[in-house]
A and B are shown apart, each in its own frame.
Chain A
């Protein structure tokens, strides 16, 4: 029987680290949480990720109550990026993992999300 593939049905073991890299990347670069909400996370899950990053001292509030990345966070960011992604000229861009799915056979039925 064909198996139905739904996106994000399985969390890969490095999913948590992938999110953490995204959290630090958001603070370092575009400052919009749109990237994470597009991955299918709820706002409360995204808020939890930022809180976790604060708790682990990767990010902190500055005097103007703006979130900034700590030195510890920057080191962790570089380390995790090396572990998770290929390096090169475009290493400041994080790969978009959203369209990725597990490998399927020709008999499997793939159901894309409705808006796609």
Chain B
């Protein structure tokens, strides 16, 4: 694929229609604006027409969940949780694995946002919310010890994050909290805004209780069928080859085929949306939703 200007007028206008339908900003160029029509069009311009069509299709499925909607999203999840009646309180912790305890993770960010709305949440729901921001590498100050906690029927631990892809990170986090810290799995709930259907199934098959505001299917494999599906997979493989995407990220981490942007872009999202790259001819490819790992 050579990068000469190939964007057709039809696709230029389709792109604008998608931005309009999604209420994404078209004209204003703000450096912190989450999405840019100019970057999207120049991104399309790198690819031939058939691949532009695939990218337009995928972008119309794309979910951009801005930080401003987080509280409403979580409140919707709390509202739809199925819990025993005796539950009257939660201990909410960021979802982190043992090796990530010292790192800044999205779970910590989410916990901070929610903790600043504790009183509103307690007015809205019949539960007491205890936010444990301290990473529990030993025993946290405000969380009861496993021996006391496991015998209480009226409370649960909630591990919170904004996205679940393959479900493997959640499984590791659960193993840490149950295997090492000895909190019973049946007393732990995982809560997220957006999750891939495969990740949810993977966790539920392992007896993990998980709730999400929105569950998404795979962008290509679950959207197309038959010959169109294999053509689209081939197109995406060629796009990723052109961008020199590392093998582990092809079709998104764990081949999740996600189409999601939250406060940051999960690496489970198709790399064409976040993988900034220097092409073979020295040109710079700026992705629409650059990721900041």
Do chains A and B interact in one complex?
yes
Q: Which residues of A contact B16 (CB under 8 A)?
A: 44, 47, 51
Is B9's CB within 8 Å of the partner chain A? yes
Q: Is the pair A44, B8 in contact by a Cβ cutoff of 8 Å? A: no
Q: Which residues from B are CB-within-8-Å of A27?
A: 9
Q: A42-B38, A43-B41 are in contact. Are A51 and B5 (CB under 8 A)?
A: no
Number of interface residues of B (CB under 8 A): 17
Q: How far is the CA of A23 from the CA of B8 in the complex (A)?
A: 12
Taking the closest CB of chain B, its distance from the CB of A20, in whole angstroms, is 13
Query: From DSSP, what is the main secondary structure of chain B's interface residues?
Result: helix
Which secondary structure dominates chain A's binding surface? Answer: helix
Closest to B4 in A: A34
- Candidates B12, B27, B41, B42; contact of A50 at CB < 8 Å: B12
Minimum CB–CB distance for A27 against chain B, Å: 7
Tell me if B6 and A32 are in contact (CB < 8 A).
yes
Name A37's contact: one of B5, B8, B15, B26 (CB within 8 Å): B5
Q: Choose from A33, A38, A65, A66 the contact partner of B12 (Cβ within 8 Å).
A: A33
A44 touches B38 (CB 8 A): yes
Complexed CA–CA distance, A32 and B41 (Å): 13
Q: Are A43 and B9 in contact (CB under 8 A)?
A: no
With A42-B38, A43-B41, A43-B42 already in contact, the answer to whether A32 and B12 are too (CB < 8 A) is no
**Within 8 Å CB of A42, what residues of B?**
38
B7–A33 contact, CB under 8 A?
A: yes
Cβ-based interface call for A80 (8 A): no
Q: A44-B16, A44-B26, A44-B27 are in contact. Are A50 and B9 (CB under 8 A)?
A: yes
Q: Which residue of B lies closest to A50 (CB)?
A: B9
The docked-state distance in angstroms from the alpha carbon of A30 to that of B9 is: 11
Q: Would you call A26 an interface residue if the criterion is a C-beta within 8 Å of the partner chain's C-beta atoms?
A: yes
Q: How many angstroms from the CA of A26 to the CA of B6 in the assembled complex? A: 12
Q: Which of A31, A34, A38, A47 contacts B13 (CB 8 A)?
A: A47
- The A-contacting residues of B in range 1-38, CB under 8 angstroms, are 4-10, 12-13, 15-16, 26-27, 37-38
Q: A1-55: which have CB < 8 Å to B? A: 23, 26-27, 31-34, 37-38, 42-44, 46-47, 50-51
B residues in contact with A47, CB < 8 Å: 12-13, 15-16
CB distance from A55 to the nearest CB of B (A): 12
Q: Which residue from chain A places its CB closest to the CB of B8 in the assembled complex?
A: A31
Chain A residues in 8 Å Cβ range of B27: 44
B10 touches A44 (CB 8 A): no
Cα(A51)–Cα(B8), bound, Å = 14
B15 proximity list for chain A (CB < 8 A):
47
**Across the interface, which residues of B come within 8 angstroms of A33, CB to CB?**
5, 7-9, 12
Within residues 70 to 101 of chain B, which ones have a CB less than 8 A from any CB in chain A? none
* Distance of A67 Cα from B42 Cα, bound (Å): 21
